[in-house]
Structure 1
Amino acid sequence: MNIVYSLLALVGGIAIGIQAVVNGGLGKKVGTMEASFISFFIGTAALFFTVLFFGKGNILAISEVPKMNLIGGLLGAFYVFVMVLVTPKIGVVATLMTVIVGQLLIGSIIDHFGLFGGERFAFEPTKLFALLLMLIGVFLFNK
């Protein structure tokens, strides 16, 4: 079953790559903030109808969720805004490479300390070396 989740993650990554260029183009036409809003609004509408027709959870349990778990939407909005702003300036690949390094860096910190209730996975020197190589790769790619 892990292969299914891995393939789904791969497709999600492909979607992010497409989203970067599509939202960047939208931002050129309507403005950065406006494009971010439009993108999030359409996504919100799509999720609303998905939950309405296919949802199996309990959306009313939101009052029982730790407040820290509610910042995901803000982080997502910030991410979309950054992608709309940055992609037209440095390109899709450079943007995604830098985003991926940022994701891996914060993911390593979260894993190492078990932040937000996650499992702990030690940050070893080989992981640091890999991140440094990726940062060098981003620098060389953008040079």
Structure 2
Amino acid sequence: MKWIYIFLAILGGMMIGIQSPINGSLGKKIGAVEGAFVSFFVGTMVLAFLVLFFGKGHITDLFQVPKWNLLGGFLGAMFVTFTIISVPKVGVAVTLLAGIIGQMAISVIIDHFGLFGMPKNRIDINRLIGIGLMLTALFFLYRGSE
């Protein structure tokens, strides 16, 4: 049953893969920060619709959450902005793999120390080799795009 979540994660990754060149093109036309703003504005409108008609949570509890929980929006905005800046310069594949490597590097640190209330999962040689192989792939993707 957990495979559905892996499938959803793959689908989300594919959406990021499609979103990146679209946002990169938008950013070249209207500016990187402006492109990120438009992207988040459209996303905000879609999410407002979903919350209004399908939301079952407790959005009114927003003011009770720890303030650090609100950093997700800031971090997402920075990710989209950095992607918009990078895609036209190094391409979609290199940009996204570099982003995934960044995600994996910070995620193993978060797992290792159990940061943000996550369960601990120690860094081991297998995880380090996995990141090393991703760095190797990045090297070859970048070299192949020059």
Relative to the length of structure 1, the TM-score reads 0.97
Matched with 1:71 is: 71
Q: Give distance in 2, aligned partners of 1:11 and 1:136.
A: 25
Matched with 2:13 is: 13
What SS does the aligned partner of 1:99 have?
Answer: helix
| Percent sequence identity over aligned pairs | 48
Structure 2 residue 39 is the aligned partner of structure 1 residue 49: no
Structure 1 residue 140: Cα displacement: 2.2
Q: Which runs of 4+ in 1 moved over 3 A?
A: none
Structure 1 residue 3: Cα displacement: 1.4
**Cα-to-partner distance string for 1:23-59 (whole Å, 9 max, x where unaligned):** 0010111111110000000000110111011100111
Amino acid at match of 1:70: L
Matched with 2:3 is: 3
Please identify, of 132-141 and 113-122, the stretch whose mean Cα deviation from structure 2 is larger.
Answer: 132-141
Calculate the aligned-residue CA RMSD, in Å. 0.8
What SS does the aligned partner of 1:71 have?
Answer: helix
Structure 1 residue 104: Cα displacement: 0.5
Amino acid at match of 2:30: V
What SS does the aligned partner of 1:120 have?
Answer: coil
Structure 1 residue 134: Cα displacement: 1.2
Unaligned runs of 5+ in 1: none
Amino acid at match of 2:142: N
Q: Give distance in 2, aligned partners of 1:84 and 1:26.
A: 8
Structure 1 residue 97: Cα displacement: 0.7
Q: Give distance in 2, aligned partners of 1:42 and 1:130.
A: 36
Q: Give runs of aligned pairs for residues 1-143 of structure 1, distance below 5 A.
A: 1-143=1-143
In the alignment of these two chains, the number of paired residues is 143
Structure 1 residue 67: Cα displacement: 0.7
Unaligned runs of 5+ in 2: none
Q: Give distance in 1, aligned partners of 2:57 and 2:96.
A: 33
